[in-house]
Amino acid sequence: MLQPTVTAAHGTAKRWENAVAQLFLDPSGPTLRLCTKALSACDRARKWQLALNIFADVRAKRLEVDTILFNSLLSACGKGSHWTQALRCFQELQAESLCADIVTYNSLISACERGSKWQAALKCLQDSLEAGLEPTLVTVSAGVSAMEKGCQWQSAVELFSMSGDASIEADVILYSSLAAACGRGHAWTRALDVWADLKERDQRVNTVLCSTCISACALSSRWTQALALHKEFDKLSLEKDAVAFGAMLNAFAMGNLWQEAISLLATMAAASVQPSLIGYNAAISACEGGHRWAEALQLLASSPAAGLQADIVTYGAVLSVCEKSLRWEEAMAVLRSAKKRAVDINLIAISAAVSACEKGSQWEKALGLFAEFRAHNDQGTVQKSEQSDIVVYSAVISSCSKCARWQTALGLLNDFERAAAQAQAANAQTYNAAMLACVTGHAWRTAAALALQMQRQQVETDVIASCTLVGAFVAGAQPVQTVACMDLLHHRALAAMPA
């Protein structure tokens, strides 16, 4: 027996095929009614290109058009995420001197929402109000969703209030969109207000809304509130799916609650709920705060048994845990495993491995990984914006400072600035690492020159740089410069003190 979704999809396919066939086979030729029927069928079947072809045929044959036909075309373009095409169709509607109705504007707003164009969506919504049209639930829902994708939570709240002004009965989908918008804007208290408001109205809350509110709390690192919401699932007899569990795993990752994350994975396994790879990666990230490198490695090893194929994000998360746990040998093993499984190595993974070697005073291995990073650049396997990444350079320069290889550190700094000429400049962290390498290598004059170079590059000399420079002048037996740096540090300390 066919599943309902399969049967429905088959029925939709048959309907649009029949509608299009009728359009071209009808002996009386295409009419407005048949064209509208065909466009409507294409809209439901998400055949936006075919809808445009049919419309082009309508224009070529100079058939009469109306608002209903344009509405079907606009909706089809929107479902295909072609918001620019939808706007062009709207301009044609206006050129025909046809009156746009609220359905027209709803289709336009939805098209802009799917294209993540919140400004255009807001403009369309404002135009509909200026035209004297009454907004509907679809109008507000599409507008709020567009604001959510544009991280405009204040605008989402304002649009939501429109539903009350227009006596629109907000449903759980609209509440979920508002909660998501608040979450992305780190307005987690607003998201909790959304949850409380819907419950007070005695409307039925669902898994999606609860998961959305949990994610809102997680994005603001409010894992306590997220955990309280998670308990609502049992109180309200809501079904826990992979999305609901994944939201909670993200919250645990934000709070570095590795024990809770691993326990939740066990709960999922007992309930026969397969975790998503995103949720699984979050559980690994939760191990970072507690330096639980062994647990992170175990989760990586168990990913195939969980029905998941580890990707670069998974390996990057494990490498980050190893780096924070000062386990450079394990980091190198993880990196070898990723290569063996043909997982594309990205900049984040290499940065974590380099930093792990740096913290383990393994400068030769750090330089080896850096050479590999450069090779990836030459092969074009690292995105252009990543080629002069400050994290990798800072880590490998720092590793040189621990073995007094100041010439290598200086060369890397110069190399970085050449590579980053059109992108990002070296920051205080990079310069500080190079200066420290010079100090440990008894090259105090070079360290002082780097301090001057920082000023020329308009890089702010922070406290670490000043202290490093003091060490350089002390090592070089330069009492005047030493006292001057000490005075500078003293004045900075006084300026930082509250009045």
Candidates 13, 15, 59, 64; CA nearest to 38 is 15
Report the distance separating Cα 66 and Cα 210, nearest Å.
43
**CA angle (234 as vertex; 229, 240 as ends), nearest 5:** 80
Question: CB–CB of 73/44 below 8 Å?
Answer: no
Rg (CA), the chain: 30
103 vs 81: CA distance, rounded Å: 17
pTM for this model (two decimals):
0.71
CB 314 within 8 A of CB 349: no
Q: Look up residue 213 and give its two tokens.
A: 């509110």
Q: Is the dihedral of CA 20, 21, 26, 27 positive or negative?
A: positive
Q: 298: how many CB neighbours lie within 10 A of its CB?
A: 13
Q: What is the pLDDT of residue 354?
A: 84
Six token digits for residue 111: 């098209």
Domain ranges across the chain: 256-344, 364-499
**Cβ neighbours, 10 Å, residue 108:** 30
CA distance linking residue 447 with residue 297, whole number of Å: 40
Q: What is the pLDDT along the chain (499 residues), one digit of tens a residue?
A: 334 433 344 444 456 566 565 555 555 666 778 888 888 888 888 888 888 888 888 888 888 889 998 999 899 888 887 889 999 999 999 999 999 999 999 999 999 999 999 999 999 999 999 999 999 999 999 999 999 999 999 999 999 988 877 678 888 899 999 999 999 999 999 999 999 988 887 677 889 999 999 999 998 989 889 989 988 888 888 888 888 899 999 999 988 899 999 999 999 999 899 999 999 999 999 999 889 999 999 999 999 998 999 998 999 999 999 999 999 999 999 988 988 888 877 777 888 888 888 888 887 888 888 887 777 655 544 444 444 467 777 778 887 877 778 888 888 888 777 765 544 566 777 888 888 888 888 888 888 888 888 877 777 777 787 788 788 888 888 887 788 778 766 676 666 666 5
- What are the structure tokens assigned to 305, written together? 């048994």
